[in-house]
């Protein structure tokens, strides 16, 4: 791949945004390559860890490309489509954020299930200063994550949060020194991977279901899991440990 570095393991895939000459700005090629990653993870579900190269997550969408896009491109929702696909992957997504996570880079982070940061993280949505809106998820994901008052300050007044501020409002769940960030992401992935992958997948699916669908969705997911061999194996092991 030209814009991503991909490292695969049995239970996870680590994808590094790698356009350091553009501070990992998200261009069409990166979007296309992220679709390739999603296609693979939809076939073979594993945890996804997203990070950036050279101390930057993603400085935003590629402004040179963005400047030339038209109303037709806006209606195609190029970035919003890939971010939604990432959010809907079967297994959890962890975004490990260092340096800038701005504009489209922030919206990519908002699509993850977990966000980890560093003290030097700067996250925000300055799109209105460029004459556009944050149209790839920030206007509805961010209020859910941090509440409407702070989200409005970020998307309407251009407030950029530091790592410490992002931690205080739970936009990120933990901070690490830059050299330890990826290790922190792997530690979180280890905790997820220790659980039953099928139960994890159903939990993510039901969490994302509309509220009105929850009773039915929970019943159907639990029905499948109650008959799974892995549920029987894990519960038997638990009972044997308790007896021991």
What is the separation, in whole angstroms, between the first and last Cα of the chain?
51
Active site residue 127: yes
Q: Where are the domains of the chain?
A: 4-194, 197-242
Alpha-carbon distance of 21 to 44, in angstroms, equals: 32
The residue annotated as part of the active site, out of 107, 164, 165, 218, is 107
pLDDT at residue 176, as a whole number: 98
pLDDT at residue 244, as a whole number: 75
The residue annotated as part of the active site, out of 36, 127, 153, 240, is 127
Distances (CA, A) of 11 to 89, 197, 198: 14, 9, 12
Q: What is the pLDDT along the chain (244 residues), one digit of tens a residue?
A: 999 999 999 999 999 999 999 999 999 999 999 999 999 999 999 999 999 999 999 999 889 998 999 999 999 999 999 999 999 999 999 999 999 999 999 999 999 999 999 999 999 999 999 999 999 999 999 999 999 999 999 999 999 999 999 999 999 999 999 999 999 999 999 999 999 999 999 999 999 999 999 999 999 999 999 999 999 999 999 999 988 7
pTM of the model: 0.96
Give the residue from 5, 23, 20, 22 showing the smallest Cα distance to 100.
23
Around Cβ 144, how many Cβ atoms within 10 Å? 10
Active site residue 211: no
What is the SS3 string spanning the chain?
CCCEEEEECCCEEEEEECCHHHCCCECHHHHHHHHHHHHHHHHCCCEEEEEECCCCCECCECHHHHHHCCHHHHHHCHHHHHHHHHHCCCCCEEEECCCEEECHHHHHHHCCCEEEECCCCEEECCHHHHCCCCCCCHHHHHHHHHCHHHHHHHHHCCCEEEHHHHHHCCCCCEECCHHHHHHHHHHHHHHHHCCCHHHHHHHHHHHHCCHHHHHHHHHHHHHHHHCCHHHHHHHHHHHHHHHC
pLDDT at residue 66, as a whole number: 87
Q: Which fold has domain 4-194?
A: 2-enoyl-CoA Hydratase; Chain A, domain 1 (3.90.226)
């Amino acid at each position: 791949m030209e814009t991503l570095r991909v490292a695969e393991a049995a239970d996870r895939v680590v994808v590094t945004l790698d356009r350091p000459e553009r501070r990992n700005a998200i261009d069409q090629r990166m979007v296309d390559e992220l679709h390739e990653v999603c296609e693979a993870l939809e076939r073979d579900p594993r945890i996804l860890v997203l990070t950036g190269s050279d101390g930057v997550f993603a400085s935003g969408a590629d402004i040179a490309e963005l400047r030339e896009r038209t109303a037709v491109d806006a209606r195609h929702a190029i970035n919003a489509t890939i971010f939604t696909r990432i959010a809907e992957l079967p297994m959890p997504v962890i975004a490990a954020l260092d340096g800038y996570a701005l504009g489209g880079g922030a919206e990519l982070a908002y699509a993850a299930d977990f966000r980890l940061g560093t003290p030097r993280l700067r996250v925000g949505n300055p799109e209105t200063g460029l004459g556009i809106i944050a149209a790839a998820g920030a206007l509805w994901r961010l209020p859910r994550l941090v509440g409407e008052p702070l989200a409005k300050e970020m998307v309407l007044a251009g407030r950029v949060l530091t790592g410490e501020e992002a931690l205080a409002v739970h936009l990120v769940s933990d901070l690490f020194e830059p050299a330890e960030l990826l290790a922190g992401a792997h530690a979180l992935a280890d905790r997820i991977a220790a659980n039953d992958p099928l139960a994890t997948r159903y939990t993510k699916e039901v969490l994302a279901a509309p509220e009105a669908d929850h009773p039915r969705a929970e019943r159907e997911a639990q029905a499948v899991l109650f008959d799974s061999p892995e549920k029987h194996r894990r519960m038997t092991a638990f009972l044997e440990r308790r007896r021991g």
